[in-house]
Chains A and B, each alone.
Chain A
Amino acid sequence: MDYEFIYSFKKPQLTGNWFLDLNPLTKLNIVIVIAIISILSLSWQVSASIIAFYFLLAALAGCLKRFSKMYIKLGLLIGSLLFIMRAMFIPGDHPLFTFWLFTITQEGIDKGIWFSTLVVSICGAIVLFSTITRAKDFMYALENLGAPHSTSYIILASFQSIIDLGDRAKLIMDSQKARGIETEGNLLQRIKAFIPVMGPLVLGAITSTEEKAIAMEARAFSAPEKNTHLSELRKVPLWEKLFVLLVNISLILFIIWRFI
């Protein structure tokens, strides 16, 4: 029967993948260390290998497909934009070739490669963290550190509200179209169409907060007692603590090796 499902809430809900099951704060620590190494190394080779390393980590966590779908698109867009800007506009003493207004220089190319790989590698840390960590686990870990539970509500409710309001926006837009509001045509017409969509959406959302507040109060949202939680986080095992220590020591060693 469904007892198995019910009893699954008595234990921490693990996925069975050792990397995914790490504590959210451990994962945060690891990605921050990687990003710092990329910033301090000041070389595009290191940043590029870190970018490749993210794919390895994502594969390790078993979410390579989800990660690469998001990251490749983002990386190509941001990386190429930042690179092209620098390659075109940074002046230097070693011009490679000239066209129209622009002079492409060796300095511009070098700076462009370094900066775009750096930014893409920092972006990767954030994208990787958000793919391998569930928002509710992360917020619960922060609550254990002492964050008030209303912050968890605010963050998690925002995700839900974005989905809900998005659906409502489509609904309102269709209704306004049926009423004869033009959503296509020249610029002024489209700007005018924004107000009849946004107005009812925001007003409806603001007035509905009162109902939401009453519903949450009925479930003792602001009761002063300590909250209980439906799902629990795993107690951090010793090997995980040692692993975090090892990662942080290697960062310190890297800084010492790099700057002293």
Chain B
Amino acid sequence: MKKSFKLTVFLIPIGIAVNFIGGQIVLLLKLPLYLDSIGTIVVGALCGGIPGAVVGAITNLLISITNPTTLAYIWLNILFGLLAGYLGKKGIFTSLWKTIITSIGFAIIGGGLGSTITILIFGGLGAGATGAITGMLMTMGFSVQAGAFIAELFADLLDKIPTMIIVFFILKSIPVRTLVKLPQGKLYIPNNGKDQRIHNI
């Protein structure tokens, strides 16, 4: 137990860097997505909710150095980490279909809570593309809340489905010798960790 805690400390910076680089590769490939919470969800799934939340929070703090408006959305990343830890514990991420369905949960946090924060702090009109969509929906007769909610939920679902598919394949491909040393890693070993060979590694 002690040993796995130590590996967690070293995995957190990796998760943060993966979040960053994910966002950068998206820019390089010119994709209309964010894909910037892969590290948070992977660390949450492997090490538990608290380390996942720590990854999310620190990623957000570091991004806020160059774009301080993102600081308002720190709760989203914390909740992503906690939810990933909880779902990981339940063994959801071992099946591709269940993993894809969880993207609805992440999108509700990202879209629902995200739009609430946008309304509370930026009056519904954030500085970004979804802000423009919200504004358009408002002129079409939707209320601020409904407009922001629809715009952000839609954008988030489009982002979280590919994120979860990538997370599933990453978790599936981590070698057993690394998994056994992580707090929730045993859940991802085939045969539910009861394989006799593991004890010989």
Q: Which residues in A have some Cβ–Cβ distance to B below 8 Å?
A: 70, 74, 77-78, 81-82, 85-86, 88-90, 101-102, 115, 119, 122-123, 126-127, 130, 150, 153-155, 157-162, 164-166, 169, 173, 183, 187, 190-191, 193-195, 197-199, 201-203, 205-207, 209-210, 212-213, 216-217, 222
Contacts and interface: CB of A to CB of B under 8 A. Distances in A.
Interface in B159-179: 162, 166, 169-170, 173-175, 178
29 contacts: A78-B67, A81-B127, A81-B128, A82-B122, A82-B127, A85-B127, A85-B131, A119-B69, A119-B127, A123-B67, A123-B69, A127-B68, A150-B9, A154-B9, A157-B10, A158-B62, A164-B17, A165-B17, A166-B17, A166-B24, A169-B24, A195-B169, A199-B173, A201-B21, A202-B170, A205-B14, A209-B178, A210-B181, A213-B9
Contacts of B66: 70, 74
Interface in B112-148: 122-123, 125-128, 131-132, 135, 138-139
Given A169-B21, A205-B14, A81 B131 contact: yes
The interface centre, meaning the residue of A101, A153, A194, A217 with most chain B CB atoms within 10 A of its CB, is A194
Nearest to B3: A213
Given A82-B122, A202-B170, 13 more contacts: A89-B138, A119-B69, A126-B68, A150-B9, A158-B58, A161-B13, A165-B17, A166-B24, A183-B29, A194-B29, A199-B170, A207-B178, A212-B10
Contact of A155 (B10, B58, B71, B173): B58
Contacts of A206: 11, 14, 42, 46, 174, 178
A86 B31 contact: no
A128 to B, nearest CB: 11
Contacts of A85: 125-127, 131-132, 135
Given A89-B138, A202-B18, A190 B65 contact: no
A220 B133 CA distance: 53
B125 A209 contact: no
Contacts of A190: 29-31
Given A85-B125, A194-B26, A198-B25, A153 B135 contact: no
A195 B167 CA distance: 10
A154 B54 contact: yes
Range of interface residues on B (Cβ < 8 Å): 35 or more
A238 B151 CA distance: 54
Nearest to A123: B68
Contacts of A159: 62
B29 to A, nearest CB: 5
Nearest to A172: B25
B28 A102 contact: no
Mostly helix, strand, loop or mixed at chain A's interface? helix
A86 B125 contact: yes
Contacts of B10: 157, 209, 212-213, 216
Contacts of A213: 6-7, 9-10
Nearest to B59: A158
A75 to B, nearest CB: 10
A255 B29 CA distance: 49
Nearest to A35: B68
Contacts of B31: 187, 190-191, 194
B122 A169 contact: no
B14 to A, nearest CB: 5
Interface string B86-130: 000000000000000000000000000000000000110111100
Contacts of A195: 166, 169
A78 B127 contact: yes
B122 A158 contact: no
Interface string B58-93: 100010111111010000000000000000000000
The interface centre, meaning the residue of B16, B125, B131, B170 with most chain A CB atoms within 10 A of its CB, is B125
A154 B59 CA distance: 11
A212 B41 CA distance: 22
B153 interface: no
The interface centre, meaning the residue of A88, A150, A154, A191 with most chain B CB atoms within 10 A of its CB, is A154
The interface centre, meaning the residue of A81, A199, A216 with most chain B CB atoms within 10 A of its CB, is A81
A70 B17 CA distance: 21
